[in-house]
Amino acid sequence: MRITYLLLIPSLFLVYAQPSDEHIKNLIASNIAETIELRHWFHQHAELSNREFKTSERIAEELKKIGLNPQTGIARTGVVAVLNEGKPGPVVALRADIDGLPVRERADLPWASKMTGIYNGEEVPVMHACGHDTHIAILLATAKVLYRIKDQIPGQVKFIFQPAEEGPPPGEEGGAALMVKEGVLTNPDVDAIFGLHISSKSTAGQVMLKPGSIMAAVDEFRIDLTGVQTHGSTPWTGIDPIVTASQMINSIQTIVSRSMPLTTAAAVVTIGSIHGGVRSNIIPEKLYMLGTIRTLDTSMRATVLKRLDEIVQNIAAANNVKADVTFMNSYPVTYNDPPLYEKMLPTLKRVCGADNVKYMDAITGAEDFSFFQKEVPGVYFFIGGSSKGEDLDKVAPHHTPDFYVDDSALETGVVSMTSLTVDYFTKGL
């Protein structure tokens, strides 16, 4: 169906013929081989957060080939380009994250990553263990399609290729927060933003989303304990931070089970790393732990932060240990604007098939896309990444060496992002 609509601009009436779904899908299909090839290249050249140098260089090259004028060095290694620069009308932003993870790939692929990088001062293997390579390829393909129908778009589209979604290295700024700080949502001012994430635990062709809170807020923390070092055979002559840490870990788990109204929303507190000691017969002087908090409710988040500090300080005092709690990377809740969600949901159902668009429960994973959504209305959704017929119970989860998503998922991502953009100019106003 072809829709003709009017865009009212002071002193002007402009008539635009909206491109049909069939035309958009034909453009996507004609470019799918190149999209897959790009996905493989980005996968093979995975780079860590704030170090995505080759990645951003290739993104800029591809945007120039399309006919766009990319800006580089945004938030260190980010790339931004605008379609229809200066054209009157609304502004839609589309975002893809571009960084990899310090994980060694085990998948037997001709385009598997052999990349390495420096993480916490050590050389580590790097792979796209969360599917950001597919996000890059999808957004580049979307940019190419939208460029070919740019005369039918009554406004501007801002393509945001964001580094460091997985978190910048210690001591550095990065990610969506830095992009917002540097003004990525201004000049031109963005009216709405859309983003997606591929999921290995869902089948290609499916789309999953919900209004309101869809992903959790995250608060990373570090606990430093200082005791008195002594010989392991005479523990009474020292102050043991290891025993103290073990007591803290057990008690921290009671924050969720005993202090959270879990019928309201989910919450998680996890200690993921503990470092202390070098020998079996030495009680060390110092120890540190790293952990993460995930919450979907603002008041519950405040309670968790308060209880964590209380438990750490009180247990430390009971053991004569000095304790310091430091909060590090923090992302707000990823929140889908309900009015925008309601306006755009029919688009996804139309172009992906109503049976393929599923309501999902909120998850305790986190996304710094939430920083964009704090500034402008946004919708974030998931697309399936496993091939049809795959046993999803046996599929490797994200952030693991065996993580894999199939190329067949790319087309759903491109048609979703392209159609949301085109339809926003008539539905999102």
3-state secondary structure 52-107: CHHHHHHHHHHHHHHCCCCEEEECCCEEEEEECCCCCCCEEEEEEECCCECCCCCC
Q: Where are the domains of the chain?
A: 3-216+333-427, 217-331
Decide if 332 contacts 371 (C-beta within 8 A): yes
Least confident of 211-215, 296-300, 425-429: 425-429
As a residue count, the chain comes to 429
Give the separation between CA 164 and CA 101, rounded to whole angstroms: 10
307 sits in which H/E element:
helix 298-318
Please list, residue by residue across 282-309, b when 16 or more beta carbons sit within 10 angstroms of its beta carbon and e when fewer do: ebbbebbbbbbbbbbbeebbebbbebbe
Strand, helix or coil at 415? helix
Q: What confidence score (pLDDT) does residue 2 get?
A: 47
Strand partners, 391: none
When pLDDT is cut at 50, 70 and 90, the band that residue 200 belongs to is very high
Q: Could you count the other beta carbons within 10 Å of the beta carbon of residue 120?
A: 8
When pLDDT is cut at 50, 70 and 90, the band that residue 12 belongs to is very low
When pLDDT is cut at 50, 70 and 90, the band that residue 3 belongs to is low
Write out the two tokens for 353. 């098939």
Are 3-216+333-427 and 217-331 in the same CATH fold? no
Among 349, 406, 350, 417, residue whose Cα is nearest residue 27? 417
Q: Which CATH architecture has domain 3-216+333-427?
A: 3-Layer(aba) Sandwich (3.40)
Higher pLDDT, 15 or 427: 427
Helix axes 338-352, 410-427, angle to 10 degrees: 130
The model's pLDDT over 132-172, given as tens digits with 9 standing for 90+, comes to 999 999 999 999 999 999 999 999 999 999 999 999 998 89
Q: What confidence score (pLDDT) does residue 170 get?
A: 85
3 sits in which H/E element:
strand 3-9
Q: What confidence score (pLDDT) does residue 120 get?
A: 85
Look at the block and give the residue holding tokens 């129908």: 149
The torsion of the CA quartet 302, 304, 309, 314, rounded to 10 degrees, works out to 130
Decide if 87 contacts 140 (C-beta within 8 A): no
Q: Which CATH architecture has domain 217-331?
A: 2-Layer Sandwich (3.30)
Least confident of 4-13, 274-283, 379-388, 393-402: 4-13
The model's pLDDT over 361-380, given as tens digits with 9 standing for 90+, comes to 999 999 999 999 999 999 99
Look at the block and give the residue holding tokens 């993480």: 119
Mean pLDDT across 370-397: 97
Give the separation between CA 244 and CA 229, rounded to whole angstroms: 13
The model's pLDDT over 78-116, given as tens digits with 9 standing for 90+, comes to 999 999 999 999 999 999 999 999 999 999 999 999 999
Helix axes 21-30, 338-352, angle to 10 degrees: 70
The torsion of the CA quartet 342, 348, 354, 360, rounded to 10 degrees, works out to -70
